[in-house]
Chains A and B, each alone.
Chain A
């Protein structure tokens, strides 16, 4: 079963007015086994020489955490299997991180469904200060800097690598605000906001707040609840300033002449979101996120070091400093760099983050049982349910699958491509019985009420 690239248009740019192109021809002959969809609806593939896991679509931040952690377990299991296939004594190391400390960086991408009518320019103006300031909570921490030799520890793994405010690129001249416009959904209704500036988090609280605060802010932008955007004079420079300041006290110049800290910016956003939720009601999961966002901000305000055990950069820094003191090491000693790296090792018996969790020193939000389940079962309330359950129930009939499609071989002459244009459809509530009761793919199609024509024929 292969990935369905039919609708992909990675070069479409959100800043350019749309001319809807003709429906592209299906792409055949992809990487094969190196590109697959799991029964959880997640995608597992090789991207630019890295194994990459993409979670299924989730309807809440907490669900996202569950399926993200499930991805870590999948990678851990894959690493162990690969190891078993190698000569005795071989080891496979997999790290959930974003830089090798040698000038290469690779992203952790967040993707948010946003109503198409929200103007992209407005999103940009509100999100730039959000991206810059959230680093104080969401940064994974790293030793050293590619750009500033004097910065011996940074909050963000990726700050050194961002060189533009707004743009389409993802591998060079990386922009804080990425303009890729490839919704994998009905493009008249939806935008997929593609966010590339975040770090990979191991602390589950950090992942929850990273994603959950973004969801809240996006809701607030769409509702017009944020007032005028706060405008940083130089967002790129501010991103680096925040990354290099472990005291969280550095001030950032605004275009109106004021200076504010990252915490000031975060608290302003949090306040506006909390007010909106109080006025118009909380959507599922928002109370949980607001609670943690508030707790982290209050903690950071009182004493940044107290974020240790809650967020990655502070946890890593505290452990690094204690380790350096025991052994009398300089800030960029090889063993310090090793610690920085091994913090991100996905093996639960060797990865330093996981050893901290095992010792009860770091807060977890998920249970092992729900994470294990999420390795093979999709979220129930998004189209991932339909995708994942089709693959689980009819693995031989699913010829290809993508974010917005499942391609079935029902035994008829032509393959059938089922579009999944709406991320909120294909849920267990809507189609669950159909998928679970169908005896085969042909029966599934019949129950779904007939087959849409496939444009052209696949070989």
Chain B
């Protein structure tokens, strides 16, 4: 697809037509860039007692 990008950067809600994906659109960093920092954060944030939490996570089926 074309490489043009027009993105509304004002406080307005960007109109659908104004936002065209750019070939170069990318996240600020690679997913696993500096992976140790990422894993440190996961260690911090992950629920303690994973075994208990997972065992207790039982849902009723739905549609």
User: Judging by beta carbons under 8 Å apart, are A342 and B29 in contact?
Assistant: no
User: Judging by beta carbons under 8 Å apart, are A107 and B21 in contact?
Assistant: no
Q: How large is the interface on B (under 10, 10 to 19, 20 to 34, 35 or more residues)?
A: 35 or more
User: Judging by beta carbons under 8 Å apart, are B41 and A355 in contact?
Assistant: yes
User: Judging by beta carbons under 8 Å apart, are B32 and A62 in contact?
Assistant: no
Q: Which of A263-286 contact B (CB under 8 A)?
A: 284-285
Tell me whether A334 and B60 are in contact in the complex, defined as CB-CB below 8 angstroms, given that A63-B16, A318-B32 are known contacts: no
Instruction: Name the A residues within 8 Å of B45 (CB-CB).
Output: 342, 349-350, 352, 355
Tell me whether A309 and B57 are in contact in the complex, defined as CB-CB below 8 angstroms, given that A48-B62, A62-B19, A288-B20 are known contacts: no
Instruction: Name the A residues within 8 Å of B31 (CB-CB).
Output: 308-309, 315, 318-319, 356, 361-362
User: Judging by beta carbons under 8 Å apart, are A104 and B46 in contact?
Assistant: no
Interface digits, A68-103 against B, CB 8 Å rule (1 contact, 0 not)?
A: 000000000000000000000000000000011111
A438 at the interface (CB under 8 A from B): no
User: Judging by beta carbons under 8 Å apart, are A363 and B19 in contact?
Assistant: no
Tell me whether A309 and B30 are in contact in the complex, defined as CB-CB below 8 angstroms, given that A322-B39, A339-B46 are known contacts: yes
User: Judging by beta carbons under 8 Å apart, are B59 and A363 in contact?
Assistant: no
Q: How far is the CB of A295 from chain B (nearest CB, A)?
A: 7
User: Judging by beta carbons under 8 Å apart, are A341 and B57 in contact?
Assistant: yes
User: Judging by beta carbons under 8 Å apart, are A370 and B13 in contact?
Assistant: yes
Q: How large is the interface on A (under 10, 10 to 19, 20 to 34, 35 or more residues)?
A: 35 or more
Instruction: Name the B residues within 8 Å of A322 (CB-CB).
Output: 32, 35, 38-39
Interface digits, B10-49 against A, CB 8 Å rule (1 contact, 0 not)?
A: 0101101101110101111111110101110110011100
User: Judging by beta carbons under 8 Å apart, are B20 and A285 in contact?
Assistant: no
Interface digits, A191-218 against B, CB 8 Å rule (1 contact, 0 not)?
A: 0000010000000000000000000000
- Complex: A60 Cα to B33 Cα, angstroms: 34
Instruction: Name the A residues within 8 Å of B51 (CB-CB).
Output: 334
- Complex: A100 Cα to B58 Cα, angstroms: 6
Q: Which of B29, B53, B61 contacts A105 (CB 8 A)?
A: B61
Closest-by-CB residue of B relative to A360 is B28
User: Judging by beta carbons under 8 Å apart, are B60 and A48 in contact?
Assistant: yes
Tell me whether A171 and B61 are in contact in the complex, defined as CB-CB below 8 angstroms, given that A287-B1, A363-B26, A370-B14 are known contacts: yes
A369 at the interface (CB under 8 A from B): yes
User: Judging by beta carbons under 8 Å apart, are A338 and B46 in contact?
Assistant: yes
- Complex: A171 Cα to B63 Cα, angstroms: 5
Instruction: Name the A residues within 8 Å of B53 (CB-CB).
Output: 338, 341
Tell me whether A104 and B42 are in contact in the complex, defined as CB-CB below 8 angstroms, given that A291-B20, A338-B50 are known contacts: no
User: Judging by beta carbons under 8 Å apart, are A309 and B27 in contact?
Assistant: yes
User: Judging by beta carbons under 8 Å apart, are A360 and B29 in contact?
Assistant: yes
User: Judging by beta carbons under 8 Å apart, are A308 and B32 in contact?
Assistant: yes
A-B residue pairs, 3 tightest by C-beta:
A360-B28, A106-B62, A338-B50
7 contacting pairs across A/B (C-beta < 8 A) = A62-B19, A100-B58, A107-B63, A288-B19, A334-B50, A356-B38, A359-B41
A contact set with B: CB distance below 8 Å:
47-50, 60, 62-63, 99-107, 109, 170-171, 196, 284-285, 287-288, 290-292, 294-295, 308-309, 315, 318-319, 322-323, 326, 334-335, 337-339, 341-342, 349-350, 352, 355-356, 359-363, 365, 367, 369-370, 373
B contact set with A: CB distance below 8 Å:
1, 11, 13-14, 16-17, 19-21, 23, 25-33, 35, 37-39, 41-42, 45-47, 50-51, 53-54, 57-63
